[in-house]
Amino acid sequence: MNSEAIKDRDEVEERKVFKYLNKPESVRENPTGLSIYFADKEVELVWYRPGVVRVLIDDRDDFNRKPSTPAVVAEHEEVKLDYLYNEEEVRVLGPELEIGVQLDEFGLLFFDKDDNLLQADFPGQAYGFNRGEVEINKVLKSRERIYGLGEKTGFLDKRGQSYQMWNTDTFDPHVPSTDPLYISVPFYLSFDGELSSGIYFDNSYRTEFDLGAEQEEMLSVQAAGGRIDYYFMAAEKARDVVKKYTWLTGRTPLPPLWSLGHHQSRYSYYPEERVHELADRFREEEIPCDVIHLDIHYMDDYRVFTWDEDKFPEPARMLTELGDAGFKLVNIVDPGVKKDPEYSVYRSGQLNDFFCRYLDGELYTGDVWPGESVFPDFTEEDVRNWWQDLHQEMIEQGIKGFWNDMNEPAVFNENMTMDEMVEHKNDGDPGLHKRFHNLYGLFEAMATSQALEKFSAERPFVLSRAAFAGSQRYSAVWTGDNRSFWEHIELSIPMITNLGISGLGFAGCDIGGFTGDSSGELLTRWYQLAAFMPFFRNHTTIGSREQEPWAFGEPYTSIIREYIELRYHFLPQIYKLFHEQSRTGLPVWRPLFFHYQDDEKTYNLSDQVLVGDNIMLAPVMRPDRRERLVYLPAGNWYDFWSGELYEGGRSHLYQAELDRLPLFIQAGSSFVTMEPVQYIENSFSDLTLNIVLVEDDFQFRDNIYEDDGISFDYQNGAYNLTEYKVSADENGIKVEFINKKTGYDSGLDNIQVRILNLDYDGVKVTFNGNVLSSNDYIYQDKDLIISLPYQQEGVMNILAL
């Protein structure tokens, strides 16, 4: 027997030590569900809302209904329940979901309203306990696929793998076996081609999700501590599970519009002259850019909340000058505070007892960039308030956003993090680091985004490397230290898509690759895909080759410029999707099966992605490739570049020269664009509604969202929401505009409606019955472009002559 096999056997042995809940002593109906009693444990089923049930197991003599982590923000609603009893089972019948409580070998069966079995606990081994560890086991159905789980490498479908939830600064190249990484989200979406459901396991301890790796038909979740506390979510459509999950854990509020523009970063740009040179070069090259990030060298010997006065002698002046040129600056802030008695942040933190300590009072220190450092205990509100205030000066100087790095927290030691025995005070509910580790980044981002809200009247922008369930309420995320590998372009699609499924929809990766030297072709292909990434930033490490958009000369610079312009061209559409994400939780980047749920070919399609529900990218991700196979789901697809219609339901070999991103729009849909700008000033510079026709009759509805892009006024109604209904038949095309809200004066007088590929020989256009003069529309290329007063309600008809 080899050592691997011995290890396996040991693991199995160890597993047997778990004691599983078996026969309940009694059950009792309660106003929100059912309580099930065992010798020392109680299981409570709580209907949170239709289709969402919490399963909470705690000690009978100390039953605590508080959510286990700060991820959960929803309160339970009142729902009406019915109960059916027989000897083996109590059936609780609730809206959208029924649960069969098995009384012999305790376990739960989850059914949808049509009595389809969505999920079953593993018979005899459903809920296990072993010296503080807890375990849940579920049956994996034969066709079941698993998505989500936060930031994981590999393909879209995670079945057959096993993953750890333990935020880790992993510098090793991110390959399929690299796990864990910086972000942990203990949520998964299950989909078998028909039925969909999800589980959010509200436990922040180190947790392993075995998705059929050890036993093909068992999904096992094992946490190193804490309680069994999970939320089961049922929905008819896979994408609706994500809506429910983000109802539970919160959604990404609308970010400032500029933060959806192009970001440029490097480890690090300094001194001030170099930042100016960089900014000037963007404007000279006419390559759009909104944001520059300052990495750790702006600080005085890596002391957070300081500037190196030699490199940046007058930050406020510099920030005003850069601001006048349209640049917003984002500063990195790591959690480690240099242990230096002469440093004010260390002093005030120490005097107030704000840093993490061991139980016996010893201060915890660890090495990070500044050398020996201490770590704020962000679980405490007082500490977060203090941390917020430390941001005030920089915000007043003109810093517009913050980048929270190293907040797993990363420490340069063997464990790569803080000692698990360090204590966190957590506002009166203390616990060891092993409980709070995965929450550290979330708490820091919470403090940072609140600092921006407090000291500026603007929407916060925070970028965080570590995150947990619920972090979407506070920060954007990126996938950490990737490499300048072609494989890492490819990796970014399933990674960012699964982050979105896990609620973290404002996500991106280092364009061009962080470690290693990029190349012209690599950077070009990366930008083509990234032009549509929710978060759009070029970043690289210290000492690597330059990889700004112009770094590799022609033809690359021109092509990259074109794709950055394309980003700004599509910004109204991307913003609309962010607006939708803030309301429904549906991410900007979506797997194809979210909208082609009946098409099995999409279930693990990991090299294409949908932006919203109708724009599809199939990037080239190999060197020297000038063609690729593109799978198009049912319907017709409009080639953004040629205007040609491709037939869906099959694959096409598509020619993609270096300057071509295969980019398709579903026929019978629309998207909103504007003319590219060098940077965002306020809202959109102009608006065009593009309509892609289908040959047959069709109709759809969609909307355009607009606000000032920066303030919170939209929360008080200062926004415009225009709904439009488009239909076409043999009589022509009809577009009906309905103003759902007119609350923001954008200064736009007109909107262009662009009918793509209209093959009428001549047209008559009317608006509210009045015939438009031919000055109001033109044919350009193959498109008809009509100018209409912006936000005027009414019906436009286009008739063939």
Nearer to ligand GLC, 42 or 510 (CB): 510
Which structure tokens are listed for 243? 């809506």
CB of 174 to ligand GLC, least distance (A): 12
Examine the residue annotation and report whether 405 is marked as an active-site residue of this protein.
yes
Examine the residue annotation and report whether 481 is marked as an active-site residue of this protein.
yes
Which structure tokens are listed for 702? 């969609």
> CA 217, CA 34: separation in Å to the nearest integer?
28
Catalytic residue among 169, 210, 377, 408: 408
CB of 268 to ligand GLC, least distance (A): 7
Nearer to ligand GLC, 391 or 465 (CB): 465
For 95-127, give one letter per residue: b (16+ CB within 10 A) or e.
Answer: ebbbbbbbbebbbbbbbbeeeeebbbbbeebbb
Closest to 600 (Cα-Cα) out of 193, 318, 26:
193
Nearer to ligand GLC, 293 or 590 (CB): 293
CB of 296 to ligand GLC, least distance (A): 4
Nearer to ligand GLC, 71 or 304 (CB): 304
| Count of residues that interact with ligand GLC, criterion CB under 6 A | 9
**Residues 6 or more apart whose Cβ sits within 8 Å of residue 613:** 590, 594, 595, 666, 669
Contact string 332-351 vs ligand GLC (x = CB under 6 A): x-------------------
Closest to 245 (Cα-Cα) out of 208, 205, 190, 193:
190
> CA 631, CA 600: separation in Å to the nearest integer?
12
Q: Binding to ligand GLC (CB under 6 A): which residues in 510-549?
A: 539
Nearer to ligand GLC, 484 or 797 (CB): 484
Nearer to ligand GLC, 186 or 480 (CB): 480
Which residue from 202, 481, 562, 580 is in contact with ligand GLC, where contact means CB under 6 A?
481
Which residue from 295, 521, 548, 708 is in contact with ligand GLC, where contact means CB under 6 A?
295
Nearer to ligand GLC, 265 or 581 (CB): 265
Residue identified by tokens 């989909």 is 191
Contact string 689-728 vs ligand GLC (x = CB under 6 A): ----------------------------------------
CB of 492 to ligand GLC, least distance (A): 15
The answer to whether residues 705 and 721 touch, using CB atoms and an 8 Å cutoff, is: yes
Catalytic residue among 112, 151, 202, 405: 405
CB of 186 to ligand GLC, least distance (A): 23
> CA 429, CA 646: separation in Å to the nearest integer?
59
The answer to whether residues 665 and 615 touch, using CB atoms and an 8 Å cutoff, is: yes
Position 255, amino acid: P
The answer to whether residues 37 and 24 touch, using CB atoms and an 8 Å cutoff, is: yes
**Residue 491: helix, strand or coil by DSSP?**
helix
3-state SS track over 626-686: CEEEEEECCCEEEECCCCCEEECCEEEEEECCCCCCCEEEECCEEEEECCCCCCCCCCCCC
First-to-last alpha carbon distance for the chain, in angstroms, is 82
Which residue from 480, 662, 668, 709 is in contact with ligand GLC, where contact means CB under 6 A?
480
Beta bridge partners of 741: 721
3-state SS track over 11-55: HHHHHHCCEECCCCCEEEEECCEEEEECCCEEEEEEEEECCEEEE
Q: Extract long-range pairs of 122-128: CB within 8 Å, 24+ residues apart.
A: 122/218, 122/220, 124/20, 124/22, 125/18, 125/20, 126/20, 126/21, 127/20, 127/21, 127/43, 127/57, 127/228, 128/18, 128/19, 128/20, 128/21
Closest to 565 (Cα-Cα) out of 492, 673, 670:
673
The answer to whether residues 83 and 115 touch, using CB atoms and an 8 Å cutoff, is: no
CB of 471 to ligand GLC, least distance (A): 16
Closest to 337 (Cα-Cα) out of 394, 402, 383:
383
> CA 112, CA 505: separation in Å to the nearest integer?
27
CB of 484 to ligand GLC, least distance (A): 14
CB of 496 to ligand GLC, least distance (A): 16
CB of 505 to ligand GLC, least distance (A): 21
Nearer to ligand GLC, 98 or 295 (CB): 295
Which residue from 296, 609, 672, 689 is in contact with ligand GLC, where contact means CB under 6 A?
296
CB of 499 to ligand GLC, least distance (A): 16
Nearer to ligand GLC, 405 or 565 (CB): 405
Contact string 384-413 vs ligand GLC (x = CB under 6 A): ---------------------x--------
**Residue 198: helix, strand or coil by DSSP?**
strand
The answer to whether residues 158 and 210 touch, using CB atoms and an 8 Å cutoff, is: no
**Residue 570: helix, strand or coil by DSSP?**
coil
User: In the complex, which residue's CB is closest to ligand GLC?
Assistant: 267
The answer to whether residues 18 and 11 touch, using CB atoms and an 8 Å cutoff, is: no
Nearer to ligand GLC, 152 or 424 (CB): 152
The answer to whether residues 686 and 694 touch, using CB atoms and an 8 Å cutoff, is: no
The answer to whether residues 504 and 473 touch, using CB atoms and an 8 Å cutoff, is: no
Which residue from 243, 303, 465, 590 is in contact with ligand GLC, where contact means CB under 6 A?
465
Nearer to ligand GLC, 481 or 607 (CB): 481
Catalytic residue among 98, 481, 548, 707: 481
Nearer to ligand GLC, 92 or 477 (CB): 477
Closest to 34 (Cα-Cα) out of 54, 12, 4:
54
With both helix axes pointing from N to C terminus, report the angle between 381-390 and 440-455 in degrees, rounded to the nearest 10.
50
CB of 70 to ligand GLC, least distance (A): 24
Contact string 236-275 vs ligand GLC (x = CB under 6 A): -------------------------------x--------
Residue 205 engages ligand GLC in binding (rule: CB under 6 A)? no
CB of 206 to ligand GLC, least distance (A): 22
Nearer to ligand GLC, 263 or 660 (CB): 263
CB of 473 to ligand GLC, least distance (A): 22
Examine the residue annotation and report whether 89 is marked as an active-site residue of this protein.
no
Residue identified by tokens 């389809």 is 116
> CA 84, CA 545: separation in Å to the nearest integer?
68
Which structure tokens are listed for 408? 């797993």
Q: Which residues are catalytic?
A: 405, 408, 481
Which residues contribute to the site for ligand GLC (CB under 6 A)? 267, 295-296, 332, 405, 465, 480-481, 539
